[in-house]
Amino acid sequence: MRTYLVTGGAGFIGSNYIHYMFDKYDNDIRIINVDKLTYAGNLENLKDIENRDNYTFIKADICDKDAISKIFAENDIDRVVHFAAESHVDRSIKNPEVFVQTNVLGTAVMLNCAKAAWEQEDGSFKEGKKFLHVSTDEVYGSLPEDPDAYFYETTPIDPHSPYSASKASSDMLVKAYIDTYHFPANITNCSNNYGPYQFPEKLIPLIINNALSGKNLPVYGDGKNVRDWLYVMDHAKAIDMVQEEGVLGQRYNIGGHNEKQNIEIIEIILDTLQELLPDSDPRKANVSRNLITYVTDRKGHDRRYAIAPDKIKADLGWFPETMFKDGIRLTIKWYLENEEWMKRVTSGDYQKYYDSMYAGR
Ligand code: NAD
Ligand code: TYD
Give the pLDDT confidence of 130-169 residue by residue, as tens digits.
999 999 999 999 999 998 999 999 999 999 999 999 999 9
Tell me the per-residue pLDDT of 303-322, one tens digit each, with 9 for 90 and over.
999 999 999 999 999 999 99
User: Is residue 163 annotated as a catalytic residue, yes or no?
Assistant: yes
Nearest to 136 by CA among 255, 300, 310: 255
- The CA 286 to ligand 1 mean position distance, Å, reads 31
- The CA 163 to ligand 2 mean position distance, Å, reads 13
Nearest to 99 by CA among 170, 25, 187, 20: 170
Confidence at residue 189, expressed as pLDDT on a 0 to 100 scale: 98
Q: Higher model confidence: residue 354 or residue 152?
A: 152
d(CA 288, CA 286): 6
Residue 18 phi/psi, 5-degree rounding, is -60, -40
- Across the chain, mean pLDDT equals 97
Secondary structure class of 224 (helix, strand, coil): coil
Confidence at residue 348, expressed as pLDDT on a 0 to 100 scale: 75
Q: Buried b / exposed e across 131-158, counting CB within 10 Å, b at 16+?
A: bbbbbbbbbbbbbeeeeeebbebebebe
Q: What percent of the chain is predicted at pLDDT more than 70?
A: 100
User: Is residue 137 annotated as a catalytic residue, yes or no?
Assistant: yes
**CA 329 to each of CA 142, 196, 222, 323, 343: distance values in angstroms, whole numbers, following the listed order:** 28, 11, 25, 10, 20
Tell me the per-residue pLDDT of 66-103, one tens digit each, with 9 for 90 and over.
999 999 999 999 999 999 999 999 999 999 999 999 99
Residue 19 phi/psi, 5-degree rounding, is -60, -45
Tell me the per-residue pLDDT of 267-311, one tens digit each, with 9 for 90 and over.
999 999 999 999 999 999 999 999 999 999 999 999 999 999 999
Ligand closest to CA 105: 1
**CA 193 to each of CA 45, 213, 255, 261: distance values in angstroms, whole numbers, following the listed order:** 16, 24, 9, 15
**pLDDT confidence bin for 11, thresholds 50/70/90:** very high
